[in-house]
Structure 1
Amino acid sequence: MSDRSPTAYDVTLCVEDLRAALALHGITLPSLRVDLPSFAGTYAPPAGLVTLGNCNTATARALAAVLRKAAAE
């Protein structure tokens, strides 16, 4: 595990990667974004959080179904 704190750019790439992976399954998390306030603190583990946000029940069920299918493979 790296001791380097993720930069805002690193976290942005992570968010875009997650957004693209979800899109492959027809899933959109409208509030998916970099959590900018997480870069303001100086706490461990290093800052750089991803905000998954809220979604409706249809999206939550679709996400759960994809995760269950992936776990079964």
Structure 2
Amino acid sequence: MSTQRRQAGKTPTSAPTDGTVPVTAVHPAIEDALDALDTLVSALRRAGIKLPALDIRTPWPDEGRDALVHIGPCSAQVARALAAVIVKGASR
């Protein structure tokens, strides 16, 4: 995970203006998901693909589950490019 993101997750530099509570500690599942997200973004960038809505979701109130890397919506063009990269990699 990038140092900037890790620090941003642990020590907010300013109070949020959207009514949310600032996060002062990063749960290990969230940190793992952030690392996976960084890896995915890097791989997509190398393939020339940018997904516009990548984020992390934690839909469960208990802390025993993994956080989710949410890939989000994309255009048909990006979906086809992503499919082509996956097929190319799968055929190796």
Give the structure 2 partner of residue 55 of structure 1: 74
How many aligned residue pairs are there? 66
Give the drift of 1:33: 1.1
Residue segments in structure 2 that go unaligned for 5+ positions in a row:
1-26
Give the drift of 1:58: 0.5
Q: 1:19 aligns with which of 38, 41, 53?
A: 41
TM-score by length of 2: 0.63
Larger radius of gyration: 2
* Structure possessing the higher relative contact order (Cα contacts under 8 Å, 6 or more residues apart): 1
1:64 has 2:87 as partner: no
Give the drift of 1:7: 2.4
Taking only the aligned residue pairs, the percentage that are identical comes to 35
| Secondary structure in 1 matching 2:56 | strand
Give the drift of 1:14: 0.8
